[in-house]
């Protein structure tokens, strides 16, 4: 018979930490998680502002907004670098920091001090990156290919490389911490295959980070030596090799794509299962496909170099690049089967989850198209590539982050986000996102090159559509920011488990007390066993412990949709 | 069928010294895994150079003194041995002996670094700079690689003296020597890397 954590004699009331706690050194993983997320959101605004400048420039075929072509180069280089290294990667690290220990029922990460240290490398790195703008702008794109990055970029390129070094150290230290935490801190009764899927994806991501990031460190070291030490590693005229950079850089940066999207896939597994009240379809395969993606991700790097690669290596890399669609496909079909016949609650989190599913599939398909060699050579370095990467990074990673924010905001802050604003945010974002990035496919196939400020006037109509949709997309972000600020003060109080979820982060108050749990939580053997009598008994037990999960003023529509999981309890289940 | 797991009342022992020692050791191995990768990039850069331009390496080797470097290699190997002896000493509970051995480890490591600086000086006199038109292509493969390793040795020397200092303050015991053990992992790693570098650069 099932056992339920005994009701406590004192109420579990978590208090939100004082704002000052977030501004100083803290070893509490929850504080650090929020520090990561707030820092990342700051960079999101900076990177977003740069994106708006790009779109303003491209409204007309002539050079008008940017002072020069060089300045335009700097704008898009900074946009890419900041969005990847300042926004998505730290944001995912923030989710991981906050929720992995909670999902494991642990008090903290394995190395709390190291965790804080890893975070505090990020603000100086971010400052270096932004400073680079002022001392000699980078112009080589986020990929920093030599000779662009060695002969043309200003001194800012060196600063940017140092900044990425710091970020790399930060993410390696963070990843080591995650792996040790997940391997050694699981509670009794939680094997690897009882772990929540978000934790699984963080494990896979951390393995990639530990094994791939050193490549970036190696490449950056050589780049810095070339720039300030007078070496010629990348100078073909002096016995160097420009392809050395491309190989080593992409050996990191292709896996880095999965560093950015795998945690998003984890968030999606949580959100889809919880909000459609269904068990994950093919749990083991979903879990293992994360490792599959991590592994195969190391074998595809040269598809970024189809046009510079030795011809006989093209076909092998085309094949591996297509194979990696298989584990991704497994996940997509599992998610579809998970929501199939589910009792779907169209919360903002769920909407963004579905948004991810649809947009990520488009990005995945254009990815397979790009992996196809003849097609790639046609659209190489055009807006088709820009469309693809934004469909997987914005339609994938960022939509997942949005879903994660709507799903977990109540846990972190103790307040519900406004669902109506959330749905408004979703619809505007979803439509404007599609209208921004989908027409880029046409522009690309018609031959519009990426990374140019001046283009053939025949592309103007498309670019005007893209830019206007892009501005709407930019503005839609502020709905989320307004919602977060407003809900912090005026939002409805969140119960311990407003979504009636079974994973352990919901088995404590919102926000959790500083020790996370008053007493050790007992994990379910199936973290997604919705609709089973055990799950009902567990949720019933939680209501006894924490009071009503669904607040009385919870929106009626959601309540109705969710009502069928409050079936009468089986006899004796609440013992 | 989902079932709640019957482990109620079982307390976590993630806080126990054994659990923490396990965590530290595992983390150290992961850290070393990422170190292996950084070194392999630099080693690969050297290996490609060795294969493509063998004459340039052969030429540069005339400037390198193999016997001198062999002595230096022996010094580093000896420091690894001192490290092992220090670990054995603390396991037997002999704190004073441990402090002496770890101190010796640090001193030998320091000797290695100083001798490497002497070697750099010699090479500079021979005209092998980080980059120069003539022998430069050897220098740019040689210096980053050996200096990166040297930086690891310097970190190890500082770490050895920290361990020694903690030993003097009697912070280790036969049941609590994880701090020495993970330092040992690091030190042996640095040693093994040197053996590979020595073979690559000076022998084959």
Q: Which residues of A touch B7 (CB under 8 A)?
A: 187-189, 522
What pLDDT shows up at residue A567?
Answer: 42
Q: Is residue A394 part of a domain?
A: yes
Q: Is residue A12 part of a domain?
A: no
**Which tens digit of pLDDT belongs to each residue from B164-184?**
999 999 999 998 899 999 999
- The ipTM, to two decimals, is 0.84
Global pTM reads 0.89
What pLDDT shows up at residue A231?
Answer: 82
Is-contact A166 A121, C-beta < 8 A? yes
**Between A118 and B3, where is the model more confident?**
A118
**Whole-angstrom distance, CA of residue B11 vs CA of residue A363:** 46
Helix (H) or strand (E) holding A239: none
In terms of Cβ atoms closer than 10 Å to its own Cβ (0-12, 13-18, 19+), residue A447 is middle
What pLDDT shows up at residue A74?
Answer: 94
Q: Which residues of B touch A5 (CB under 8 A)?
A: 8
What pLDDT shows up at residue B133?
Answer: 63
Q: What angle do CA A538, A544, A545 make, to 5 degrees?
A: 90
CATH number for the domain spanning A557: value is 1.20.210.10
Mean pLDDT of chain B: 86
Is B148 an 8 Å CB contact of chain A? yes
How many beta-carbon pairs below 8 A join chains A and B?
Answer: 124
What pLDDT shows up at residue A238?
Answer: 75
Q: Is residue A466 part of a domain?
A: yes
Is B30 an 8 Å CB contact of chain A? yes
Q: Which of B53, B140, B189 to mutate to test the interface with A (most CBs of A within 10 A)?
A: B140
Say which of B6, B27, B33 has its CB closest to residue A211: B33
Is A107 an 8 Å CB contact of chain B? yes
Q: Which residue has the tokens 């806080």?
A: B15
CATH number for the domain spanning B132: value is 1.20.120.80
Q: How high is the mean pLDDT in each 10-residue block of chain A (575 residues)? A: 41 70 92 96 96 96 92 95 95 97 94 96 94 90 91 90 95 96 92 95 96 92 88 80 89 94 96 94 94 93 89 91 93 95 93 96 95 92 96 96 97 94 97 97 95 95 97 97 95 90 92 88 89 88 76 46 44 36
Task: Answer yes or no: do B2 and A219 touch at CB < 8 A.
Answer: no
How many structural domains comprise chain B?
Answer: 1
Q: Which residue of B has its CA nearest to A241?
A: B45
Is-contact A461 A503, C-beta < 8 A? no
Q: Is residue B132 part of a domain?
A: yes
Label residue B7 by pLDDT band (50, 70, 90): very low
Is A176 an 8 Å CB contact of chain B? yes
Instruction: Characterize A35-63 residue by residue with b for buried, 16 or more Cβ atoms within 10 angstroms of its Cβ, and e for exposed.
Output: bbbebbbebbebbbebbbbbbbbbbbbee
**Whole-angstrom distance, CA of residue B83 vs CA of residue B163:** 11
Bridge partners of B4, per DSSP, are A524
Q: B92 is in which domain, residue-wise? A: 37-203
What pLDDT shows up at residue A307?
Answer: 87
Cα dihedral B63/B68/B73/B79 (nearest 10): -140
Is-contact A204 A294, C-beta < 8 A? yes
Task: Answer yes or no: do A232 and B137 touch at CB < 8 A.
Answer: yes
What pLDDT shows up at residue A17?
Answer: 85
Q: A111 is in which domain, residue-wise? A: 19-565
Residues 6+ apart with CB under 8 A from A145: A242, A245, A246, A249
Q: Which of A1, A3, A104 to mutate to test the interface with B (most CBs of B within 10 A)?
A: A3
Closest CA to B17 of B120, B126, B155, B171: B171
Is B19 an 8 Å CB contact of chain A? yes
**Between B188 and A19, where is the model more confident?**
B188
How many structural domains comprise chain A?
Answer: 1
Q: Which residues of A touch B12 (CB under 8 A)?
A: 105-107, 187-188, 520
Tell me, rounded to whole angstroms, the distance of Cα A216 from its chain centroid.
Answer: 20
Task: Answer yes or no: do B30 and A3 touch at CB < 8 A.
Answer: no
Q: Is residue A2 part of a domain?
A: no
What pLDDT shows up at residue B45?
Answer: 78
Q: Is residue A573 part of a domain?
A: no
């Amino acid at each position: 018979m099932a056992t339920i954590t005994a009701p406590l004699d004192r109420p579990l009331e978590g208090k939100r930490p004082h704002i000052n706690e977030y501004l100083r050194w803290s070893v509490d993983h929850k504080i650090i998680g929020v520090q990561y997320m707030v820092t990342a959101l700051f960079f999101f605004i900076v990177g977003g502002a740069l994106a708006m400048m790009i779109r303003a420039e491209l409204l007309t075929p002539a050079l008008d907004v940017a002072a020069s072509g060089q300045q335009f180069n700097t704008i898009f280089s900074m946009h890419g670098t900041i969005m990847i290294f300042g926004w998505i990667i730290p944001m995912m690290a923030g989710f991981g920091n906050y929720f992995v220990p909670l999902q494991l029922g642990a008090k903290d990460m394995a190395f709390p001090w190291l965790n804080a240290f890893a975070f505090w490398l990020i603000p100086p790195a971010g400052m270096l990156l932004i400073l680079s703008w002022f001392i000699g702008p980078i112009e080589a794109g986020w990929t920093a290919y030599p000779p662009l990055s060695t002969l043309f970029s200003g001194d800012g390129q060196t600063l940017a490389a140092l900044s990425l070094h710091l970020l790399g150290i930060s993410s390696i230290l963070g990843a080591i911490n995650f792996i040790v935490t997940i391997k050694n801190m699981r509670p009794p009764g939680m094997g690897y295959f009882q772990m929540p899927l978000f934790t699984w994806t963080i494990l896979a991501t951390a393995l990639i980070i530990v094994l791939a990031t050193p490549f970036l460190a190696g490449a950056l070291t050589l780049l810095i030596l070339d720039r300030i030490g007078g070496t010629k590693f990348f100078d073909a005229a002096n016995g160097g090799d420009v392809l050395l950079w491309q190989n080593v850089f992409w050996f990191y940066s292709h896996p880095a794509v999965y560093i950015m999207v795998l945690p998003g896939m984890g968030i999606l597994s949580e959100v889809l299962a919880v909000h459609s009240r269904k068990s994950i379809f093919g749990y083991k395969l979903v879990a293992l496909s994360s490792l599959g993606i991590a592994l195969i991700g190391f074998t595809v790097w040269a598809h970024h170099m189809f046009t510079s690669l030795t011809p006989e290596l093209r076909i092998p890399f085309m094949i591996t690049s297509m194979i990696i669609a298989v584990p991704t496909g497994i996940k997509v079909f599992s998610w579809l089967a998970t929501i199939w016949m589910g009792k779907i609650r169209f919360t903002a989190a769920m909407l963004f989850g579905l948004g991810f599913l649809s947009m990520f599939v488009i990005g995945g398909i254009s990815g397979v198209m790009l992996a196809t060699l003849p097609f790639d050579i046609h659209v190489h370095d055009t807006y088709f590539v820009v469309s693809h990467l934004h469909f997987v990074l914005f339609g994938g990673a960022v939509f997942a982050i949005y879903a994660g924010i709507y799903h977990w905001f109540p846990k972190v802050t103790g307040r519900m986000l406004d669902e109506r604003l959330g749905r408004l945010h979703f619809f505007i974002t979803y439509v404007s996102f599609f209208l921004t990035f989908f027409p880029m496919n046409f522009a690309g196939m018609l031959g519009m090159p990426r990374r140019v400020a001046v283009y053939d006037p025949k592309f103007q109509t498309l670019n005007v559509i893209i830019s206007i949709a892009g501005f709407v997309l930019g503005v839609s972000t502020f709905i989320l920011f307004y919602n977060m600020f407003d809900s912090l003060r005026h939002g409805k109080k969140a119960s311990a488990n407003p979504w009636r979820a079974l994973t352990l982060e919901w088995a404590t108050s919102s926000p959790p007390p500083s020790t996370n749990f008053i007493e050790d939580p007992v994990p379910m053997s199936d973290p997604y066993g919705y609709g089973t009598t055990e799950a009902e008994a567990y949720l019933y037990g939680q209501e006894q412990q924490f009071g009503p999960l669904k607040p009385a003023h919870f929106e009626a529509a959601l309540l109705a949709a969710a009502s069928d999981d409050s079936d009468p309890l089986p006899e004796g289940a609440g013992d | 069928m989902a079932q709640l797991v019957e482990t109620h009342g079982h307390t976590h022992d993630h806080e126990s010294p054994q659990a923490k020692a396990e965590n530290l050791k595992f983390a150290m191995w992961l850290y070393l895994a990422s170190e292996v990768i950084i070194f392999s990039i630099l080693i690969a850069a050297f290996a490609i150079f060795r294969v493509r331009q063998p004459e340039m390496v052969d030429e540069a080797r005339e400037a390198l003194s193999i016997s001198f470097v062999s002595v230096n290699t022996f010094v580093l190997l000896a420091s690894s041995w001192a490290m092992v002896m220090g670990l054995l000493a603390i396991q037997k509970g002999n704190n004073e002996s441990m402090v002496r051995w770890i101190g010796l480890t640090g001193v030998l490591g320091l000797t290695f670094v100083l001798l490497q600086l002497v070697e750099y000086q010699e090479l500079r006199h021979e005209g092998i700079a980080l980059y120069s038109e003539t022998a430069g292509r050897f220098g740019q493969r040689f210096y980053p690689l050996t200096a990166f390793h040297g930086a690891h040795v310097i970190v190890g020397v500082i770490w050895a003296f920290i361990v020694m200092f903690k030993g003097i303050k009697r912070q280790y015991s036969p049941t609590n020597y994880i701090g020495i053990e993970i330092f040992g992992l690091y030190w042996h790693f640095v040693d093994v890397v040197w053996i590979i570098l020595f073979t690559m650069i000076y022998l084959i």
